[in-house]
Structure 1
Amino acid sequence: MKYVYLTLNWVFGVLFGLTGIISLVESPLGGACLIAISILLLPPVRNAVYSKTHKELPFKARAVSVFVLFVAFATFVGQSQERKAAELDAQKAEEQARKIAKARQENIDYFKAHKAEIISSASSALSKKNYQLVVNQTSKYLPTDDTELNEIYNRAKNAIDEITRIERVRKEKLDREAKTKELLAKLKKVPASEFKENKDLYQQLVNLNSDDKTYQQKFDYYSKQLSQQQEKERKEQEKLKREREARIAKFGEPPTQSAWDGSYYEVERYLERVANDPDSINIDGCTNVYHTESGWLVGCDYRGRNGFGGMIRQSNWFTIIHGQVIQMHDASAYSR
């Protein structure tokens, strides 16, 4: 094991030492870190230090030192690479600027030498309304700040902008007309009683055609109808809520139907109390809860043994108040 340890120290010591020497060119501080790691690893160096000082650096301390030096190496190399990348970018930007400046000066010189020819060609293209060609021919000579050239360029550029604007307006108009047609087709299928849907569609039409008073009037009409409908529904809900609260105050909470078999505990308890054979009672199904002036009303189908021991099937209505059946009615008393 000792020889393996020494071999690894030699291998990595030499490797870090050589790499450190090479790295000195790119990052002096990073290379110095690797050389320091090599010194900590190589056995001859450690032995020489020990012979002079009679002190040996513990293994854990050497391991921590190697780790710290390696992290420092990575940091210094990273900083060096960032600096080189920044310098390279600056060089590229400077080179690009020189190229642009050179091309700009060449264009200026060329324009000065061929001004009459360039102006004549641009004027001819302008008279033929070939505005894009004019812009292409003259834009690179604008740095000359020639008055005649600038006037031709501006006229062509303004003409292109106006054509673009007109085309945009035309397209917007076509899109608006197509969307309006689509919305009107939808409106034909919507009943007049559907206030909200009509209101929403007319709102879109108003947004598309702000100057059309008919759409605005329709929107206002359905907005008013919808508000009245919502107010009516609100009052109806409040009325139903008050009525329900009054019934609960008078009759107690409405009976709850079992999610298991659809029965009501109040009815089942009542039937078991009045039946000949309480254990034979089996409820087959019940209606929802209704209300009358007398209390909560439910109807149930059930089976049970009669006094002769035979199973019979019956249907009855039951009036319930405060969790108690107060009256049983014939099946014909109410219609389901």
Structure 2
Amino acid sequence: MRLLGIEEIENIAIGAAVLGTGGGGDPYIGKMMAIEAIKKYGKVRMITVDELKDDDLVVPVSSIGAPTVGVEKIASEEELTASLEMLEKVLGKKATAIMPIEVGGINSLIPVAAAAKKGIPVLDADAMGRAFPEAQMVTFHLDGLSPGAVTMADDKGNTLLMYPINGEWSERLARAATIQMGGQAKMCDYALEGKNVKQSAIPDTLTLAEDIGKIIRHSKVKGLNPVKEMLKKLEGFELFQGKAVDIRRRIQEGFTKGEALIEGINKNKDQLVKLFFQNEHLLAVDASKDKPLAITPDLIAVLDLETGVPITTEGLKYGARVIIIAFPCHEKWRTKKGIETAGPHYFGYPYEYEPVEQLERKRKDWE
């Protein structure tokens, strides 16, 4: 167990935006919510998976909806914990710890803010190892666990309880409700006992986000290249350097969907890369050769060329000079069920999944 204060939150916010692969909501908003909660209620205890007892109740608290909407609809303190308090009432049991459902953007820090308000620990783990756009795209689903009772709350004071039969139905019902709630809501699903969380969650991901944040914030002071240092940490690859020349976004079915065309600069001059996203970046393609560079469930992140600071899908603007990087997902996503759940065919992309390190070897051959 250790305490999270403002310095730790600053680092987690930046690192979570990298792991969020462009999605998970605006990390700045999550950072400010967490910092405000810490100032009001005190530092938050962060515990590891190993510290859980088998009968502990661990509850994920997250935001669901289109990240573009979330920039303009910031949750109140009451909305932040309304879904959690409703779930505790339904289950007749208090949460022992709160955890992020995904380690990405605002959804890494909403649990910290909720934990500060409730005075309970936040768990150093999540159920994705990144951010994904849909509720069933979690390691709990991969391990056959049910979402159980699902609660939602919006900015108007509405709360909702449902019992979906599986993760796919949890996504369908929650997404439909989110649209009616104005495109953003707070949600609790997969409230599980400690023994299940220890088996299925991806451990130490908030610490990983914090480490990435430290690299980005402090590398230049030490005379180091933040992107190179980050890629060492993540065992990743630099795919492309370029300038955003065309960005198309739309709010569709409760998601921010779109494509971005990046025109090469520096060593990538006269080349083009196209990014495809649904809240998160899911596919990077060499547009001139029509060859994939990185494919979901591996992680694709867009960074500012000068600072290495991550840029979200809603924050990417025309003319931005960027570096596109990619790195391997957690091994659970490279299983047959993982690829069926969050691979390219699920999103309608006409490519077979290949690990990013394999694609990188191929790229060196055809370049």
TM range (shorter): under 0.3
TM-score by length of 1: 0.16
Bigger-Rg structure (1/2) = 1
Greater per-residue helix proportion: 1
TM-score by length of 2: 0.15
